[in-house]
């Protein structure tokens, strides 16, 4: 019986057919390919994307500038008279050209004004376009709030 079954299996190429049955099941299954430009990927929350800075809460302490290993952040403090009442920086430069996305500036910031975003498409034609100043630095409050909660181990309130 065993020999007969083995012979039938050999003649009908049973193993090979079984393999083909398995592969055929994958034809109708959903595909794992990401259709990137058409369908945006859902990135994890701790994605270290482009740096965002909230200028309104920044106190011009220059901690980020000192923490940056690449020296790609430059903060200009306001004059002493202005600084007593208004601590916002007069100018804030980030060169994404040199940024390593290491997150050291984010750790150093005492007010949580600088942080990573989900933005990752930074390809441009002119390298000068990667230098951002106070006006061009964007800011997304929702991401900052979530991040802050995440880092402090506080669950997100729904």
Name the site residues for other proteins (rule: CB under 8 A). 16, 19-20, 22-24, 26-27, 29-33, 35
Closest distance of CB 33 from other proteins, Å:
4
In the bound state with other proteins, the residue whose beta carbon lies nearer, of 29 and 84, is 29
Q: In whole angstroms, how far apart are CA 112 and each of 46, 90, 128, 147?
A: 15, 18, 27, 9
Closest distance of CB 122 from other proteins, Å:
22
In the bound state with other proteins, the residue whose beta carbon lies nearer, of 29 and 158, is 29
Q: How many whole angstroms separate alpha carbon 114 and alpha carbon 132?
A: 13
Contact residues for 67 (Cβ-Cβ < 8 A; gap 6+): 104, 105, 107, 108
In the bound state with other proteins, the residue whose beta carbon lies nearer, of 32 and 141, is 32
> Closest Cα partner for 63 from 95, 26, 92?
92
Closest distance of CB 40 from other proteins, Å:
17
């Amino acid at each position: 019986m065993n020999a007969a079954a083995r012979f039938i299996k050999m003649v009908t190429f049973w193993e090979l057919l079984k393999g083909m049955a398995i592969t055929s099941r994958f034809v109708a299954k959903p595909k794992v390919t990401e259709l990137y430009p058409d369908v945006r990927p859902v990135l994890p929350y701790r994605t270290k994307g482009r740096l965002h800075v909230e200028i309104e809460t920044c106190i011009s302490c220059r901690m980020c500038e000192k923490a940056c290993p690449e020296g790609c952040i430059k903060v200009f403090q306001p004059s002493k008279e202005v600084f007593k009442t208004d601590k916002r920086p007069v100018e804030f430069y980030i060169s994404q050209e040199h940024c390593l996305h290491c997150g050291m500036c984010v750790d150093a910031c005492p007010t949580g004004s600088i942080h990573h975003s989900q933005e990752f498409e930074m390809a441009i034609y002119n390298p000068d376009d990667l230098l951002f100043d106070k006006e061009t630095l964007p800011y997304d409050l929702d991401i900052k709030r979530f991040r802050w909660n995440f880092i402090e181990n506080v669950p997100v309130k729904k």
